[in-house]
Amino acid sequence: MAVTLGEMVEVLETLYPLELAESWDEPGLIVGDPSWPVRKVYCAVDPTEETVQAAVDAGADLLITHHPLYFRATHTVAGSTFRGAMVTTLIENHCALWVGHTNVDSAVRGQGFAFVHALRQWGLDVVDEGPLVPSSTLEGCGLGRMLSLVSAAENDDEVTLKDFARAVSCILPATVSGVLVSGEPERVVHRVAVLPGSGDSEIATAHAAGADVYVTSDLRHHPVLDARQETGMAFIQTPHAAIEKLVFPILVEDVSAALTERFGQEGSAVRFEITELNTDPWDMRL
């Protein structure tokens, strides 16, 4: 007996409750019959034609993506549209699609946790101070993270903005667009706010929390320029998909453990693959 898609969804949505999702978001099971068996899971940030085909080619029964296939309500999944064609491909190959978006962002061991974990693995001594934007729904959950650098606060080995930005760059998958830094390179960094994904709406929150530097993606010219002058805070802009890919090793570890605990041998038999495809949209930098 294999774990069914319905059982897999129950595990996923226990770890990443849908009630954590933002009001505009609709994560969860998008494609697939709950009775389908799940023996292999393929993980990717974005549901693109490439990642869907890669999941099918890998023999996956379930594709887990971070970003939704549909951001807005739709009235057609016809194969004549590129999203509809992906739905058709998934169904024809009995490959389901489950989306974990802002519910994964806000989970206890979600995107913010994954960023802190990656920094620690790289060698930085950091203290996780909890969510940048606490959830009003579940205690301990919320968007982003506040963290402090122990090496900067307690030892003589101070961490500069340049040093910290280099660490951020090293923990991310390589992309053409790369990491951008706004701030004096030699300034010392003590406290960091991070919000993986698009985060310039929380610049004021990061400043109010006492951040020396704010790490996020998709920053715009005017908000950053104004905030530099008004707050003196530095910024590190990361490629959107690259920073959000950090969560998948954590997701695989947590889901695998939950499956084994709940279903024993059948649960431990489920295999996972994290895509090596780069879905950053930029292909050239001149």
Can you tell me which residue has the tokens 């301990």? 140
| Residue among 94, 2, 97, 93 nearest 48 (CA) | 97
User: How confident is residue 157, by pLDDT bands cut at 50, 70 and 90?
Assistant: confident
Please tell me the distance from the alpha carbon of residue 94 to that of residue 92, in angstroms, as a whole number: 6
The predicted-structure confidence for 114-139, as pLDDT tens digits, reads as follows 999 999 999 999 999 999 999 998 99
pLDDT for residue 66 = 98
User: How confident is residue 152, by pLDDT bands cut at 50, 70 and 90?
Assistant: very low
Can you tell me which residue has the tokens 């090793």? 249
Annotated binding-site ranges: 66-67, 105, 240, 244
pLDDT > 90? residue 39: yes
Q: For domain 3-101+245-274, give the fold.
A: 3.40.1390
The predicted-structure confidence for 180-191, as pLDDT tens digits, reads as follows 999 999 999 999
**Hey, which bits of the chain come out as E strands?**
3-4, 28-31, 37-38, 40-44, 62-65, 96-99, 126-128, 133-134, 142-143, 145-149, 180-182, 191-198, 213-217, 234-237, 271-274
- pTM score, whole prediction: 0.95
pLDDT > 50? residue 153: no
User: How confident is residue 244, by pLDDT bands cut at 50, 70 and 90?
Assistant: very high
Average pLDDT estimate for 109-118: 98
Quick check: do 3-101+245-274 and 107-241 share a fold? yes
**202 and 143 Cβ atoms separated by less than 8 Å:** yes
pLDDT for residue 156 = 58
Q: DSSP for 100-162? A: --HHHHHSTTSHHHHHHHHHHHHT--EEE---SEE-SSSTT-EESEEEEEHHHHHSS-PPBHH
Superfamily of domain 107-241: NIF3 (NGG1p interacting factor 3)-like (3.40.1390.30)
Average pLDDT estimate for 150-154: 54
pLDDT > 70? residue 151: no
Annotated binding-site ranges for a divalent metal cation: 66-67, 105, 240, 244
Structural domain boundaries of the chain? 3-101+245-274, 107-241
Average pLDDT estimate for 213-241: 97
pLDDT > 90? residue 75: no
Written as six digits, the tokens of 132 are 């940048």
Query: What average pLDDT does the structure give for the chain?
Result: 95
Give the H/E segment covering residue 94. none
User: How confident is residue 72, by pLDDT bands cut at 50, 70 and 90?
Assistant: confident
